[in-house]
Amino acid sequence: MSAREKPGTAAPDPGMAIPKGRQMPKEERLTPPAWQGGRAVPPNGDAFRLIGQRSRKLEGLAKVTGRAIYADDILLPRMLHAKLLRSIHAHARIVSIDASAALAMPGVHAVITGKDLPEYFGIIPWTQDEQALCETKARYVGDAIAAVAADSERLAEEALRKIRVEYDVLQAITSIDEGLEHPAIQVNEKAAEGNISKHVHLEFGPVDELLAKSDAVVEAEYWYEGSTHGPIEPHCCVAEYDATGFLTVWSSTQVAHYLHRDLAKVLGLPTQRIRVIQPVVGGAFGGKSEPFSLEFCAAKLSMLTGRPVKILYTREEVFYAHRGRHPMRLRYRTGVMNDGSLTGTDAKIHIDGGAYSSFGLVTTYYSGQLLTAPYAMPGYRFDSTRVFTNKPCCGPKRGHGSVQPRFAFECQLDKLAEKIGMDPIALRRKNHIGEATRTVNGLRVTSNGFLQCLDAVEKASDWERRWRQLPYGRGLGVAGSMYISGTNYCIYPNEMPQSAVQLKLDRSGRATLFCGISDIGQGAESVLAMIVGEELGLGLRDIRVVAADTDLTPVDLGSYSSRETFMCGNAALDAARKLRDLIAETLSERWGVPKSDVVLAQGMAVAASDPKQHAMTVRDAFQAAEARHGTLGTVGWYQSPKLGGDYRGGTIGASPAYSFTAHVAEVECDPEMGWVTVKKIWVAHDCGRALSPVAVEGQMEGSAYMGFGEALMETHTFKPAAVGHGAGIHHGPSLLDYRMPTSMDTPELESIIIESVDPEGPYGAKEAGEGPLHPSIPAIANAIHDALGIRCDRLPFSPPAVLALLKAGDVRAAWEQSRRPRVAIGTPAGAPRPRVVKQ
């Protein structure tokens, strides 16, 4: 593996670079205890009791009976309601703000502006470029300028209308090219150069040489339209600053710990005077993974008024708060040999970042770093530039930064397969990177079930008999992907554990687990309970999880980068095994049997060698252990090993384990109208051991659905600057106009779980929440090609786009040409496929 930066790019990066010497973790990194037999084995040696069962979620009945408390369900005595005044211009200097008329209204208690909260914040410590309220300049339509606290929401809204803001309107930048062409019109003054938010150039292996000697090269440009998360719960928070000077913030966040830190920074309060609580969250998908204006404003207004303050975003505000999928323009050159082996890949990527940095530094790296598996790449180069524009800030949406390049690259593979006359599944098998290996950019791959994923979707979709053989208008397409199981390093550099739990055992026979874990609907808390129950012989009803409360729970970094099951799961396993050890030791002494003979399962503690003689309830076992060891409680934590390539940026994309996915999509197209109907998506996902199969399937189906929506229906777009008036206004910031798929639109989804037991995951588990989204879009694009002979390289694949492609040439003839005799049916899965010779 070699990594070299182009001459000239070793100089300080344009944009906000990581300070030198900070990007690599220290050598003396803590590593969690290694357990005998490893992490993957069941505690009682034989089989799992809870793990792998189709069980209910801990909070499931509370949710279905309407009892679960979300942020907007919190109503405190004397609570005020606040609203934010938002910029009507995409780019404008704020000359003056006059709030006197608003403040004079009866029932209005406070108005704040940028001067009241001048401190900059941002999720990435090196790119803190946001203020809770703009002090001097608004950078997108919807940028927050002032906040009003009043007796009611309606009154606060009326007061907003009385605030007079004098703007000096500036030329707006609404596209990547405008941003690059007009560096003097600077969107974000924190950028080191023009409108460059971040530039990354990395090269591994002799790319140009490999491309030159390839038998076939495909070069194409792709456009990935932006999309947004669209959780059904809008952002909401309640802040209460009490008489002792202590601030409590309930927020619909997925990163309570990071919010805690940024609240302290912006409000100037010590962190120990702040408590952040995450109530039940109504969906997030990455859209609640950083602080927003509402949390700072509600807190500040509570500090000023001495009363609790609630802010609930309107749906329109949620669209403008955004932080969703970045629009990307991706140009790829990919080479292949006639035997199907990939040679070099060269990518040039431009990213539309919106007005602020958000996670953009990571996005820019992810746009290249996460493409290097499941296929071996001898040579790989990417050059990614994130550009500031006067639009709502983009950020991490499910499959952060890598869904867009994955779309482009999997379409590239389909084109390459066609060029050399190879089945696209065979091409993917041929380049399988394997397990226990390293990628060209230095990522360590442990377990890998990608081949089994390919086999599963090939079989389930009856690919052999149907691909390239369905009638005109119908088609199948395949795509694969990989994703991280947690980012390897904390967002702010430190050597403390990434996840931690405290586990308390009660004499009643009940366990309580305290953890900063953020359950956003994926079932993260239930997975922890399953792990604890498996180790201690408890049922799920006897375990309580107290989560995401910075006063009560040890730190977990939050629900992002698909880290919760892997990292918190390992922490819970650590704590539960320590506790189990104390109980086993007690019983082994009492019964005179070896510790390994003690079994805790299904509410009972028994000696496996003589269960008739030696048996008691786990409650009695807990009490015996308490009498022997004192009050029972343990801590557990997880810290990933030092990982990543040894070059600048080499840690970004590093993860302790990777998940793998393959999809086959089936489409039915109407060539007259351009309509594409996705009939079915087969989703095979390698999530390591599936701790909770119901939850895993839910993530697979939800991911495939979301990718489907991005492929065909959803566009998060804005009026361009060229129109003059109204530049930067969202084309449809409502759930009617922004077309999220309904129950009528969504295709049939079939999930097939592939379990490659990972050596480092808790019981061998890996992620399932984001990986399965990636192949949806290219699988649909490739299926459209099989159906109609056209290549959809631009999202979304809407009827006008499909019609335009159909009219672009004699595509019907090309389609007829593509019908070929097939590989003999019955070739064993996994075996190298014979090449199909082009006729």
Partner 1 sequence: MEPSPSQICRLHVNGDERSCGVTPHTTLLEALRYELGLTGSKQGCDKGDCGACTVLVDGDPVLACITLALAAEGRDVRTVEGLAEGATPHPLQDALDRTGGAQCGFCTPGILMSAAALLEREPAPSREAIALALSGNLCRCTGYTKIFEAVELAARELRERGTRPKVAAR
Give 26: exposed, middle or buried? Use CB within 10 Å, 0-12, 13-18, 19+: exposed
**DSSP secondary structure string for all residues of 457-477:** HHHHTTHHHHTTTSPTTEEEE
- 744's tokens: 């009528």
**Are the beta carbons of 379 and 440 closer than 8 angstroms?**
yes
Distance CA 474, CA 747 (A): 15
CA distances from 459 to 183, 618, 676, 684, 832 (A): 53, 45, 24, 11, 16
CA distances from 272 to 242, 257, 301, 546, 613 (A): 14, 12, 20, 20, 52
**Are the beta carbons of 300 and 82 closer than 8 angstroms?**
no
Helix residue ranges per DSSP H, 189-286:
207-212, 256-267
- Give the CA dihedral 424, 430, 433, 439, nearest 10 degrees: -80
Identify the CA nearest to 160 among candidates 146, 179, 180.
Answer: 146
- Residues near partner 1 (CB under 8 A) are 56-57, 59-61, 63-70, 72-73, 75, 105-107, 151-152, 154-155, 158, 229-234, 280-285, 312, 314-315, 520-523, 694-695, 697-698, 701-706, 734-736, 740, 742-744, 746, 748-749
Distance CA 138, CA 87 (A): 6
Identify the CA nearest to 766 among candidates 751, 750, 778, 754.
Answer: 754
Cα-based angle 218, 224, 226 (whole degrees, multiple of 5):
170
On the question of a cis peptide bond just before residue 374, with omega within 30 degrees of 0, the verdict is: yes
**Are the beta carbons of 663 and 471 closer than 8 angstroms?**
no
Give 173: exposed, middle or buried? Use CB within 10 Å, 0-12, 13-18, 19+: buried
Distance CA 542, CA 21 (A): 47
- 165's tokens: 């803001």
3 state DSSP class of 808: coil
CB of 279 to partner 1, least distance (A): 11
User: What are the start-end ranges of the E strands in 278-327?
Assistant: 309-312
- 763's tokens: 């019981």
CB of 290 to partner 1, least distance (A): 19
- Give the DSSP H or E segment for 239: strand 236-241
- 199's tokens: 């530039």
- Give the DSSP H or E segment for 570: helix 569-591
The length of the chain in residues reads: 839
**Are the beta carbons of 401 and 370 closer than 8 angstroms?**
yes
Helix residue ranges per DSSP H, 201-309:
207-212, 256-267, 293-305
Identify the CA nearest to 726 among candidates 274, 90, 257, 233.
Answer: 90
CA distances from 81 to 110, 246, 759, 796 (A): 11, 20, 50, 39
- 247's tokens: 């601030």
Q: In sequence order, which residues have a C-beta less than 8 Å from that of residue 740 and are 6 or more positions away?
A: 230, 709, 713, 714
**Are the beta carbons of 717 and 408 closer than 8 angstroms?**
no
3 state DSSP class of 591: helix
